[in-house]
Structure 1
Amino acid sequence: MSPHNDSAMPAGRMPGHLYATLCVAALLTAGCPLPDRSGANNGQPAADTSATLPCNDASRTCTQRYIQRASGCASSANSGNKQNDDAARQCALENYGAALKHVPATGADDLRTDALIGLADSLKAIRDNAAPQTDKTSVVKALDSTISTLDTSPGGRPYAQYFRADELTVAGRDESLPQNEACARLTQARSTLANTGTDAKLSGRVNSLRDSIDFFLQKRRCE
């Protein structure tokens, strides 16, 4: 996977490392070919675009292998080196997308939900770490589509609500918004977050996001 320098991109253009976001909606219906630029030993993203795919059959085992590769890539995306971290996030995105393409028709709803959660996390990470001048429209649309699918996936609704609350928080903390609009989004985010339930795996993230929402509610002097 070729690393990309966002700072060299003119405003309004999408960096190369966001390529796969154009295919996310199609990935959910297995309609878009996925370039093989992902995964390697020890969870490190591979630079070799000809690396062999781990499997090509619709099975639980194959789906799990892609999810494991994606997780390894995601966990290596905090090195502090922007090019390497962008590459790792792209690697995670592509492998979670590939996992969805290899989910068997029956008996793997849990894996589909896991892959959707990972895909949403990957898109969120790309959105949050994109350069300020980057056009994030395609990323946001892909994230919205993924959240909608996750919302109807078995066990996925609490996670969908978390990601929706996060999107509303990002929108609400935009300092260019008038106070009333920012407060409306942040208040809606707080309400949406309350619908995540008591999922133990989510509790830490929910608490962190709630603290962030409360901070911005206070900062914008929302009543």
Structure 2
Amino acid sequence: MSLRINDVAPDFTAETTQGTIKFHDWIGDGWAVLFSHPKNFTPVCTTELGTMAGLEDDFKKRNVKIIGISVDPVSSHEKWQADIKTATGHTVHYPLIGDKDLHAAKLYEMLPAGAGESSEGRTPADNATVRSVYVIGPDKKIKLVLTYPMTTGRNFDEILRVIDSIQLTAKHQVATPANWKQGDDVIITAAVSNEDAVKRFGAYETVLPYLRKTKQPTA
């Protein structure tokens, strides 16, 4: 059965470019983004890792740690980091997990159980499904899963936008509409009565009986 939103993110122990980690302990009491790659030294992934390096401070402002995983050993990651710097101008300071035994990829159901137990000899096409992004909350539950094809680079500004929405809606009884971004109006959830909506948010707009909009809460 596939991992779903609100499932507990599988825990694991792995070697990374920054030493051995136990995933849940590494996350701590904040948020995390785990993003996976089918193979080192692939063009699209090279741009993605560099882009994430350039956005690391934006994630930190949101109390979010970032960590990459590739179906290759850590020793290969260390060599790949030089190429990432050359291609994007950004140095990767966040950890990269080495998944040479395919354990984490199978644990997160990006590869089938019968995929074998070694990354050696596998091509990017063999690992094409290892192209997912997981946003994980302080409760260690999965808040978002996105899976991309190999030929389409990921939009990490969208990941930041989603994290902004998730963190906002976890704090207030609101939801965010299509294409919402920071500062836009939000939707008051059905759990809030009209009377309580006035107390909580002040003025609001009733677009439809079930669609009430108000200014984004800032407190």
For normalisation by structure 2, the TM-score amounts to 0.27
Q: More strand per residue: 1 or 2? A: 2
Higher Cα Rg, which structure? 2
For normalisation by structure 1, the TM-score amounts to 0.27
Q: With CA pairs under 8 Å and 6+ residues apart, which has the higher RCO, 1 or 2?
A: 2
Q: More helix per residue: 1 or 2? A: 1
